[in-house]
Amino acid sequence: MVAYIDIVTGRISVEDMGKTLIHEHFIFGYPGFTGDVTLGPFRKEEAVKAGMQAAIAVMKFGVKTVLDPTPNECGRNPEVLKEISKETGLQIICATGYYYEGEGATTYFKFRQSLGTAEADIFEMFMKEITDGIATTGIRPGIIKLATSKGEITSYERMFFEAAAKVHQETGIMLLTHTQEGTMGPEQARLLIELGVDPEKIVIGHMCGNTDINYQKKTLETGVKIGFDRFGIQKLVGAPMDKERITTLLQLLENGYEDQIMLSHDSINYWMGRPPVMNDNLATLVKNWHPTHVFENIIPELIRSGVSKKTLEKLFHL
């Protein structure tokens, strides 16, 4: 329906996205960070500076666009993204949407769900932000972010899916999801398609959290795109090792799915609240969790495994 996508500095055609990282966070915080402001205050200049460094680093590898799908309640900050974009020239896409029930700030819309207005309220919020911008910034989200729990799509989460599908039908906006610990990929794809969403406008996220080829195929056969978007996250949040991700990815490429797969890291460049402290073992496991890891370490590995340059390019183009 639409061949354009909104970025934080305006609107571009989808073709002009160029080489894209589909899932990176310039800023992210688990809901609750607002309660820890004494020890973890938000330092805007630091966030901008760190964001600019990350932007410049990925641009050296030819990246033209980064999609930052931070949910509304997890520290989303479109103005900081705009500043990073203006300073560096990197195209940045932001989102509208809420996180999954287990780790999101659920009480606001659960209360409204109990009153029976939540789904209409969510629809109205999505439409308003997509049409007029987020709060008073005038910055429009380019995608709707959706998320589900491990092993189920709860009634809370389903409200967002239904509202998003309606908004998609009116606007053609792209939908990008979070799946938890390698579950519900096929179910998310089927639900959205049943609700009338164009499969080509769906990106099912964190699919690299599952190494079962049948799970992958069940999702890909619906025609959606998928994110192998957590390279560098090993063991943390129930994730597999990069080695396992590569094995699964190579199998999918052998099966001809290269047009439907996007690579990324789900990196977090600046934490809201206090940054997490990790023990040595965990710190070693996630030492490559940064937005140039795929270019520095994963692509060389894929080339050694015989993946062509042409196929590799596709993994960064929507």
Q: What angle do CA 148, 194, 71 make, to 5 degrees?
A: 30
Strands (E), 130-264: 143-147, 174-178, 202-204, 225-228, 261-263
Over the window 275 to 294, marking each residue x when it contacts Zn ion by CB under 5 A and - when it does not, the resulting string is --------------------
Shortest distance, position 277 Cβ to Zn ion, whole Å: 20
Region binding Zn ion by CB under 5 A among candidate stretches 92-100, 259-267, 287-295, 301-309: 259-267
Cβ atoms of 230 and 266 within 8 Å: the answer is yes
Question: b/e map of 108-147 (b: 16 or more CB within 10 Å)?
Answer: ebeebbeeeebbebbbebbbebbeeebeebebbbbbbbbb
| Residue whose structure tokens are 């949040």 | 237
Region binding Zn ion by CB under 5 A among candidate stretches 53-61, 109-117, 215-223, 262-270: 262-270
Subset of 9-68 contacting Zn ion (CB under 5 A): none
**For residue 174, which phi and psi values (nearest 5 degrees)?**
-80, 145
DSSP code of residue 8: T
Shortest distance, position 221 Cβ to Zn ion, whole Å: 25
Shortest distance, position 3 Cβ to Zn ion, whole Å: 26
Told to check if 266 binds Zn ion by CB under 5 A, we report yes
- Exposed, middle or buried, 306 (CB in 10 Å: 0-12/13-18/19+)? exposed
Shortest distance, position 205 Cβ to Zn ion, whole Å: 7
Region binding Zn ion by CB under 5 A among candidate stretches 77-85, 164-172, 258-266, 291-299: 258-266
Shortest distance, position 224 Cβ to Zn ion, whole Å: 18
Is the Cβ of residue 258 or residue 266 nearer to Zn ion in the bound state? 266
Is the Cβ of residue 66 or residue 118 nearer to Zn ion in the bound state? 66
Cα gap 305→46, rounded to integer Å:
40
Shortest distance, position 136 Cβ to Zn ion, whole Å: 26
Q: Which residue is nearest to Zn ion (CB)?
A: 266
Residues making contact with Zn ion (CB under 5 A): 266
